[in-house]
Structure 1
């Protein structure tokens, strides 16, 4: 295989719709690692969550977490980009001014995530993505200069909400990333999964031309653009499929595993 670093989104890409990793993936991962190929999940999920999900890996994986704000390799965090406290509060103020959107907010820091206790169902769902989660009275009390991102759930169209409600609040220093059909991440302007891939590739000494990336949604756009070769999932966002080099079978068809098996066997 010509690729030395493979990175892959999780939800809607490697995971099926039930949020499971196929049993066929683990022996495939073993084959990759035996050949010295680095596999790095790239997700908006928390580092601890991703590491828990890859406990079955024959060898430790590298990780691009929090949509690129945190990069992990060889047992340590090698890159971490945070948001200024004032900028975080500015976004939280804008959210408070628009309760009609039906927000739920997760405040993400390197030392854990924080969610308000007002919605127990949301806290339970959030725990699936953030294994190191604290349920608190008010997330504003936990804002400091170590915030990585704000993960927002909205009951409206996230693309419309990002363009109208959040556009002015984010200013020039923050980026609004639509990460799902009801999800928005607010992160540092200079951060995305593509930057995370560049940071990881530089750390391990792999040229971007020898990287391969899989994704399905808009928060994967920079990741696929940065990689030497890119695959969008058949179930992916139309914009992503239009920009990718190739289309992989859907996540429900085990598309990532099928493509990698073909590449390894060719």
Structure 2
């Protein structure tokens, strides 16, 4: 089936099903053939299916994925681990939604330089080069990491998030993927019962634990699976990546 870039006039709130998904390991996970089949289904079903990326990736990376690498263009993005909330236009540009980001900006309060100074001598952290607006992110060496960094960040009135045992993100207090996604869905008037949230690492926990239909795909981080065990609304998929998402859509009976 030929993929296309024509979007219907229906708003995302009017669609029958909305997929809110992490990227790496989740929407970008699975075999080449599984991804192609799932992406083609997304494109063929645009009139009924809404797509939101909920990711740690920044807007530039997301635009590159959708313009040049064959990944379907989302309707909206919750990026930068929940610190960016944006609409995506037909040219693949992300436009931040100011009224939703204002609270995030205020909670961050230009903390970037304070965070970097406070963590400068902490072992096991390497500052990532990207210039994020409302977060500071590090690559983490778990063998060398000094857990005292968590207390340092708490002392600054901010939140620290470790995911996949190799990333250390510093975020505004009480801002993460889940709360930002929920604010976006409320802003858009989307019925939460027709949303599937999908993820694979601990930085997806805040959205998987919200009570919406959810899936931890088969290649999920063991620590995430431990956290969601026993949550009836979270399907622990056997299949990896997009195949796990497809498995959960059937499990939750979200699309027919």
**TM-score, length-normalised on structure 1?**
0.71
Match in the other structure for 1:126: none
Structure 1 residues 60, 172: CA separation in 2 closer, same or farther (over 3 Å shift)?
same
Query: How many matched pairs?
Result: 223
Structure ranking higher in strand proportion: 1
Match in the other structure for 2:237: 248
Greater mean alpha carbon deviation, residues 255-264 or residues 187-196: 255-264
Measured in 2, the distance between the counterparts of 1:65 and 1:6 equals: 15
Match in the other structure for 1:23: 36
Structure 1 residues 265, 40: CA separation in 2 closer, same or farther (over 3 Å shift)?
closer
Measured in 1, the distance between the counterparts of 2:33 and 2:204 equals: 20
Structure 1 residues 187, 17: CA separation in 2 closer, same or farther (over 3 Å shift)?
farther
Give the ranges of 4+ consecutive aligned residues of structure 1 lying more than 6 Å apart after TM superposition. 17-21
Measured in 1, the distance between the counterparts of 2:127 and 2:133 equals: 13
| Selected match of 1:84 from 102, 105, 109 | 109
Measured in 2, the distance between the counterparts of 1:90 and 1:169 equals: 10
Structure 1 residues 170, 14: CA separation in 2 closer, same or farther (over 3 Å shift)?
same
Match in the other structure for 1:124: none
Q: Which segments of 5 or more consecutive residues in structure 2 lack a partner in the other structure? A: 1-14, 90-94
Measured in 2, the distance between the counterparts of 1:69 and 1:20 equals: 32
Measured in 2, the distance between the counterparts of 1:249 and 1:21 equals: 14
**TM-score, length-normalised on structure 2?**
0.74
Aligned-partner SS, 1:234: coil
| Selected match of 2:189 from 205, 215, 218 | 205
Give the deviation of 1:227 after TM superposition. 4.9
Greater mean alpha carbon deviation, residues 239-248 or residues 225-234: 239-248
Give the deviation of 1:247 after TM superposition. 1.2
